[in-house]
Amino acid sequence: MGSETLNEGEISRLIADEYASRILRATYGHPMSVQQLSRRCDIPIAVAYRRIGEMERSGLVRCVRQEEVYRGKKVKFFSCAVRLVKYSFDEGDFSIEVDWLPEEKLQAPSEIGAEI
């Protein structure tokens, strides 16, 4: 994710959001579905879907795998896409710096029967 697509306002708002921070912690190195995140992080399912959508648009999480579960219905698995986020205030200006995870760190572990 390049700096040209970085939306500092959106990322800083999400980083400060309790639900988004729970999602980032839970998905760092462990891809999870929205349903799993809702249960594990104690987030209402509708809120979990909205937050994941916002986080995916901002680049904070990425869909790393899809699995077909029933009659064509697919479940997406999301992983945290950042290693480090620095938010600072220096001489009257706020700035945000994001260290994105390399693509190979985002790949979901191979699983028998998993569709990528």
pLDDT in tens, 89-98: 999 998 899 9
Phi-psi region of 29 (alpha: psi -120 to 50; beta: other; left: phi over 0): left
H or E element that contains 5 = none
Q: Where are the domains of the chain?
A: 3-106
- What's the pLDDT score for residue 6? 67
- What's the pLDDT score for residue 113? 41
pLDDT band of residue 70 (cuts 50, 70, 90) is confident
If one compares 71 and 28, the residue with the highest pLDDT of the two is: 28
Q: Which CATH number fits domain 3-106: 1.20.120.1200, 3.40.640.10, 1.10.3720.10, 1.10.10.10?
A: 1.10.10.10
The Cα 53–Cα 45 span in angstroms is: 12
H or E element that contains 21 = helix 18-27
pLDDT band of residue 80 (cuts 50, 70, 90) is very high
pLDDT band of residue 114 (cuts 50, 70, 90) is very low
- What's the pLDDT score for residue 108? 62
